[in-house]
Amino acid sequence: MRDLPLEGVVVVELSDSASAPFAGQILAALGAQVWKVERPTGDSARGWGPSKWRGSGAAYHALNRGKRAICLDIKEAGDLATLHRLIAEHADVFIHNLRPGTSAKYGLDPDNLRVTKPELICCEVGAYGHVGPLNTEPGYDPLMQAFSGIMSLTGEEGQSPVRAGVSIVDFGTGMWAVIGILSALYRRQLKHTGSTVNSSLLETAMAWMSIGIANYNADGEPGGRHGSGVAFIVPHRAFATADGHLIVSCANDPLFAKLCDVLGHPEWATDARFATNAGRLQHRALLEGLIGERLAGRPRAHWQEQLSAAGLPCAPIQTTEEAVKHEQTRALGILGKPADDEIELVGLPLSFNGKRPPPLSSAHDIGADNPALDKLLAAQQLSPRRA
């Protein structure tokens, strides 16, 4: 695919771990040229395991494909000066996830950078946010799932709290950062001025709690854990079949009536206890027990066929292997690799005019593109980066 939306945009990314690197990767997939700046010991994700690919954690490749990898130690005056030159002479966007105060220490704060480049877009990705009493505290995805209340709603009632099995807060923060950056690029086109974009893990986690917080503010109830279900719809959860689990979702009364027909109990749809969602919420345990008894008697494939034929939303709980190999996943083409010797990874979940941006190459080794940086800066008729 040619003519990607962000071709010509240059991004400098000084980041570590997951959220800010994910933002940089999205921009790279959209066509931007992204310069990934790592310290000499490399991004922490290079050491994440257990899976490895070409010497680095597979997680690192999942977050840093398609970027130019340069190694600069900003604690060294020469390398810091090089980074400043790269930003001043070439960058449209500068992304970092340094702790508040650290960027100013190295002159990488928006106020300083925009003295010489007023149209620069600076994106700061934080943990607890750029203001407030905890703004200098470190943070990771599980901490924010805990702090925001997400974990108070996740898992089975009476059991220990659990986090979502994927880094929803890290990835969500990267997405919010990109939304802010794209908005700032559009604003710059109109007003010829730069912007500072702030995003953080906690703000993202709070956004994911929007419905839970609305429910609490409406009636003062803090909510609870419903396993694979939710607090506000019944049935809307996983049920065990004879050979696996199946999510069944009835978000309204007509869908529930269809479910009752499929299960051979149309009378449930007119039962005063179950006829409305309010009633089903009140009698959750009883109704879910009845549904579970029926579904447990037949294989998952049988119920999938019956429920789908009736127009009822349902989905099997699949393993990673099943999800990767499913014909629907393959039809979407969201998994891919640019060459036969590359690892197959998830691409951008967007298409333009029916075409998905092509797969990005695996992440480069630490400092692999320092020669390209030297060449770029030498082209400005300035001294190349020191060895």
Tell me the catalytic residues. Answer: 170
Residues 60 and 179: their CA atoms lie apart, in Å, by: 22
Phi-psi sector, 7: left (phi>0), alpha (psi -120 to 50), beta: beta
Residue pair 59/47 in contact by the 8 Å Cβ criterion:
no
* Residue 271: both structure tokens together: 């039962």
SS3 52: strand
Torsion sign across C-alpha atoms 49, 54, 56, 57: negative
Q: Looking at this protein, which amino acid is placed at residue 97?
A: N
Q: How many other C-beta atoms can be found within 10 angstroms of the C-beta atom of residue 320?
A: 7
What residues contact 11, with CB distance under 8 A and at least 6 apart? 24, 27, 28, 32, 33, 34, 35, 91, 92, 93, 94, 95
What residues contact 135, with CB distance under 8 A and at least 6 apart? 100, 126, 128, 129
The answer, yes or no, to whether the previous bond of 222 is cis (omega within 30 of 0) is no
- Inter-CA distances, 6 with 29, 80, 273, 372, Å: 9, 27, 55, 21
